[in-house]
Amino acid sequence: MTWNERVRPETDASEKRSAGKGIFRKCEGCGETMLTEALANNFEVCPSCGQHHRLRHQEWRRLLLDRGELVEWDSHLEPADPLKFSDGRGYRERVAAAQKSTGAKEAIEIGRAHVDGLAIGYGAFLFSFMGGSMGSVVGEKIARLFERAREESLPVVLLQASGGARMQEGILSLMQMAKTVAALGRLREAGLPFISVCLHPTTGGVAASFALLGDVNIAEPKALVGFAGPRVIESTIRQTLPEGFQRAEFLLEHGMIDRVVPRTRMRDEIATILRHLRR
């Protein structure tokens, strides 16, 4: 899946389109209809089949962080329009629309937080902001996350959900791949752990740079993780791909990730790993 493939809205896509719209949700996995509140209370994990639906960044805070608290870093940064890009709609207009719908200035938040009492540098992509695409500001904030964590001797936990580099920024977006990996290298030289959490989807330039360079790489069940999407690969090589190709379970079996962890166990898993790596 690439950044510009059509993405269904986070809620409307699975709402029951009838009287009481918004009260009921239909699971994308098993098709069961349930109360929206019941799904939300289980952090968007279907209690029947375990399907993981997309979770907003505010809910990730509530799930993972102590008291849901994040002291944000560099929240003032927002994208410019260096290429004056337009594909029938100006880039500035697209950014403004994303900012209005998400309440965020960019497709990632970073800061200092705690997981089970352990201080961490924390980052989380907002897939609802232009598909979590990585432009200059996203790349800069990730680099600053690694650098400030190194300065404050903090391990880093980063949640990825991205379609890859942001087309509207061209080569400037691709440059972020090298910049972020260089900053991660300096964190590693300082002996500080990096836990990478790959959500659905983690693709493109994000997957090809820092997302799979964690000391421990974790993925949610059935998350799509890879550079190009399966349909693009099949059309390029003109072969049928193996069942489950690029899904988390396939990557675990082939040694590309270390753990597949259900969302409701993610906090305990991260805390346990952090304690092991800090010894």
Same structural domain, 188 and 267:
yes
Q: Are 112 and 13 in a shared domain?
A: no
Q: If you search the block for the tokens 């305990």, which residue do you land on? A: 268
DSSP state of 15: B
Same domain, 48 and 100: no
The mean pLDDT value of the chain amounts to 91
Nearest alpha-carbon partner for 266 in 162, 161, 157: 157
Same domain, 269 and 148: yes
162 shares a domain with 35: no
DSSP summary character for residue 219: E
8 has a pLDDT exceeding 50: no
The verdict on 106 and 41 lying in the same domain is: no
pLDDT in the model for residue 241 = 87
Min mean pLDDT across 5-19, 23-37, 54-68, 168-182 is at 5-19
Q: What is the pTM of this model?
A: 0.88
Output the DSSP codes for 118-186.
EEEEEEEE-TTTGGG-B-HHHHHHHHHHHHHHHHTT--EEEEEEE--B-GGGHHHHHHHHHHHHHHHHH
99 & 177 share domain: yes
Task: Kindly report, residue by residue over 196-205, the tens digit of the pLDDT.
Answer: 999 999 999 9
Q: Are residues 106 and 159 in the same domain?
A: yes
Percent of the chain with pLDDT over 90: 83
Same domain, 152 and 247: yes
CB 98 within 8 A of CB 130: yes
Render pLDDT for 105-125 as a digit per residue (tens, 0 to 9).
Answer: 999 999 999 999 999 999 999
Tens of pLDDT, residue by residue over 22-35, are 799 999 999 999 99
Residue with tokens 């003109």: 238
Helix 57-64 and helix 266-277, axial crossing angle in degrees, nearest 10: 60
Look up the CATH number of the domain holding residue 86: 3.90.226.10
Say if residue 214 is in the same domain as residue 107.
Answer: yes
Among the ranges given (17-21, 143-147, 259-263), the one the predictor scored with the smallest mean pLDDT: 17-21
Residues 40 and 52: beta-carbon distance below 8 Å = no
Length of the chain: 279
Residue 6 has pLDDT above 50, yes or no: no
Q: Per the structure block, which two tokens stand in for 218?
A: 């974790």
Contact 178, 159 (CB under 8 A): no
Q: Please count the structural domains in the chain.
A: 2
* 28 and 74 part of one domain: no
Are 182 and 99 part of one and the same domain? yes
3-state DSSP assignment of residue 272: helix
Which range of residues forms the domain containing residue 12? 1-53
